[in-house]
């Protein structure tokens, strides 16, 4: 174990954060997690340690609690931060916008203040393709304008702006340890660890397609509503770029490594798309699911969901060029791993 490489993982007990902890531990990093467990269970971190046979350090801390967070930095020799902590439900963010701005934006401000005080200035941030808003182009490149269309998306866009401003301030007032920041814009993460021990465990009725499909297939939910059959897409249903969560977190390891290379020697803040680079429709997801699992997915067509775009997917060329990262797993892998997690854990972590 290399004690010089200690990564603080905010939101490490969550869906993506727990998979990141596995990859970090397997890559030889020391892992310190802070999570308030608002949308996760400590059980996930127990299983991370089981899978890797390595320990991690956990603090049940809210990132908005400056004193407690500073205490973690004082106790642990943190060298860089992966920042996953945040709320992510688009619908809830429309009903309770201040909850989202307070958690995501204010929480990140506190984290950045504490990092600056501790002189820890390497950060990988969980951004989202949602920051592209509505765009006439369906394949997104990082240079497209930002324009989120809901409060959740705006929290991500605001945080990106703050991080770019922090980095720009280094150029005005050069610092010996400039900020080194990777903004990772995720497309649609699905799937689970191949062990079937950790995966996505949504509270209540899922909002997202994949957990909904699995709960229909296992009989927990009666029927999937396919939102829209009249989009200008090949089969009329919505098209997205689905990415296996393990591929996604491998992109984070590549990013944290890149921050330590010559490219970031003078600091900087750079955005990268993490996606497969191809679109897949709702009906293709259902078809692949039925083929892999042998289960029927009951569905019926319903009206379009407000705020949904017909089609978008990533251009992931920059991540390949600069981080040496690209997806390795197929849609079949994503479905098979999701299904193994669901069958082995019908009640999630409960
Ligand atoms: P998740 O809800 O499973 O994980 C987030 C974790 O952060 C949870 O464990 C939660 O308890 C914790 N948390 C929330 N607020 C906190 C706070 N104030 N202090 C400490 N801990 C806090 O979500 P996820 O799917 O793993 O998403 C991780 C990150 O990736 C989020 O920032 C999300 O916005 C972003 N993201 C997710 C997706 C997706 O589809 N899952 C897509 C794009 C971006
Ligand atoms: C995928 C497709 C739906 C559910 C959301 C957030 C985004 C990002 C990822 C965080 C769409 C269709 C869905 C259902 C359906 N999160 N669908 N029936 O909307 O692309 O992205 O998660 O950053 O910000 O908005 O993902 O899984 O909800 O939908 O037909 O019951 O499945 O219309 O075409 P989405 P999703």
Per-residue HEC secondary structure of 293-330 comes to HCCCCCEEEECCCCCCCCECEECCHHHHHHHCCCCCCC
Which atom of ligand 2 lies nearest, measured to the CA of 88? 10
Q: Which pLDDT tens digits describe the chain residue by residue (350 residues)?
A: 444 599 999 999 999 999 999 999 999 999 999 999 999 999 999 999 999 999 999 999 999 999 999 999 999 999 999 999 999 999 999 999 999 999 999 999 999 999 999 999 999 999 999 999 998 899 999 999 999 999 999 999 999 999 999 999 998 988 789 999 999 999 999 999 999 999 999 999 999 999 999 999 999 999 999 999 999 999 999 999 999 999 999 999 999 999 999 999 999 999 999 999 999 999 999 999 999 999 999 999 999 999 999 999 999 999 999 999 999 999 999 999 999 999 999 999 99
Q: Which parts of 27-120 are beta strand (E)?
A: 30-35, 57-60, 80-83
In b/e form, how buried is each residue of 2-24, taking b as 16+ CB within 10 angstroms?
eeebbbbbbbbbbbbbbbbbbbb
Any residues with Cβ below 6 Å from ligand 1, and which? 11, 13-17, 34-40, 62-64, 84-88, 103, 107, 126, 128, 186, 189
Residue 67 within any structural domain of the chain:
yes
φ, ψ of residue 335 in degrees (nearest 5): -70, -45
Residue 336 within any structural domain of the chain:
no
Q: How many CB atoms sit inside 10 A of residue 215's CB? A: 18
Residue 135 within any structural domain of the chain:
yes
Q: Which whole-number Å values give the CA distances from 323 to 164, 184, 253, 274, 305, in the listed order?
A: 19, 11, 9, 11, 35
Residue 106 designated active-site: no
Residue 317 within any structural domain of the chain:
no
Radius of gyration of the chain from Cα atoms? 20
The answer to whether the CB of 119 is under 6 A from ligand 2 is no
Residue 35 within any structural domain of the chain:
yes
Residue 166 tokens, joined: 């922090």
Q: Which whole-number Å values give the CA distances from 141 to 121, 228, 273, 313, in the listed order?
A: 26, 26, 7, 9
Residue 114 within any structural domain of the chain:
yes
List the one residue out of 54, 178, 175, 67 whose CA is nearest residue 113: 67
The answer to whether the CB of 212 is under 6 A from ligand 2 is yes
Residue 8 within any structural domain of the chain:
yes
Which pLDDT belongs to residue 339?
97
Among 29, 152, 186, 212, which one carries the catalytic annotation? 152
Residues 277, 128, 148, 232: is their CA dihedral positive or negative?
Answer: positive
The answer to whether the CB of 130 is under 6 A from ligand 2 is yes
How far, in Å, from the CA of 227 to the mean position of ligand 1? 25
Residue 315 tokens, joined: 């251009």
- Ligand 1, from 21, 84, 203: best to mutate by most atoms within 8 Å of Cβ? 84
Q: Which parts of 102-216 are beta strand (E)?
A: 122-128, 139-140, 180-186, 188-190
Count how many domains the chain has: 1
Q: Provide the CATH number for the domain around residue 263.
A: 3.40.50.720
How far, in Å, from the CA of 38 to the mean position of ligand 1? 10
Residue 337 within any structural domain of the chain:
no
- Ligand 1, from 8, 12, 16, 42: best to mutate by most atoms within 8 Å of Cβ? 16
Which pLDDT belongs to residue 135?
87
Identify the domain containing residue 146 by its residue range. 3-193+241-277
């Amino acid at each position: 174990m290399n004690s010089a490489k200690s990564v603080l993982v905010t939101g490490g007990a969550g869906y993506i954060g727990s998979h990141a902890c596995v990859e970090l531990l397997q890559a030889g990093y020391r892992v310190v997690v802070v999570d308030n467990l608002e949308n996760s269970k400590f059980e996930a971190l127990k299983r991370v340690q089981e899978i890797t046979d390595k320990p991690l350090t956990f603090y049940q801390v809210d990132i908005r609690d400056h004193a407690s967070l500073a205490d973690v930095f004082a106790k642990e020799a943190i060298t860089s931060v992966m920042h996953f902590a945040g709320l992510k439900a688009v619908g809830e963010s429309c009903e309770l916008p201040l909850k989202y701005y307070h958690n995501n934006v204010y929480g990140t401000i506190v984290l950045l203040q504490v990092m600056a005080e501790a002189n820890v200035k390497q950060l990988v941030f969980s951004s989202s393709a949602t920051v592209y808003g509505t765009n006439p182009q369906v394949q997104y490149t990082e240079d497209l304008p930002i324009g989120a269309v809901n409060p959740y998306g705006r929290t991500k866009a605001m945080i990106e702006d703050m991080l770019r401003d922090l980095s720009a301030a280094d150029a005005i007032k050069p610092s010996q340890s400039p900020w080194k920041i990777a903004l990772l814009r995720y497309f649609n993460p699905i799937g689970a660890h191949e062990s079937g021990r950790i995966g996505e465990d949504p509270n209540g009725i899922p909002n997202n397609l994949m957990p909904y499909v699995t709960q229909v297939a296992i009989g927990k939910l009666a029927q999937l509503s396919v939102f829209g059959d009249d989009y200008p897409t090949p089969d009329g249903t919505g098209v997205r770029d689905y990415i296996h969560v393990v591929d996604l977190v491998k992109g984070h390891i590549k990013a944290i490594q890149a921050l330590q290379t010559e490219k970031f020697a003078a600091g900087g803040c750079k955005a990268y798309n993490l996606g497969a680079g191809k679109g897949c429709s709702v009906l293709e997801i259902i078809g692949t699911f039925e083929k892999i699992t042998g289960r029927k997915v009951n569905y019926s067509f319903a009206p379009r969901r407000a705020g949904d775009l017909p089609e978008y997917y990533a251009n992931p060329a920059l991540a390949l060029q600069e981080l040496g990262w690209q997806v390795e797993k197929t849609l079949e892998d994503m479905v098979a791993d999701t299904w193994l997690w669901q069958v082995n854990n019908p009640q999630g972590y409960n």
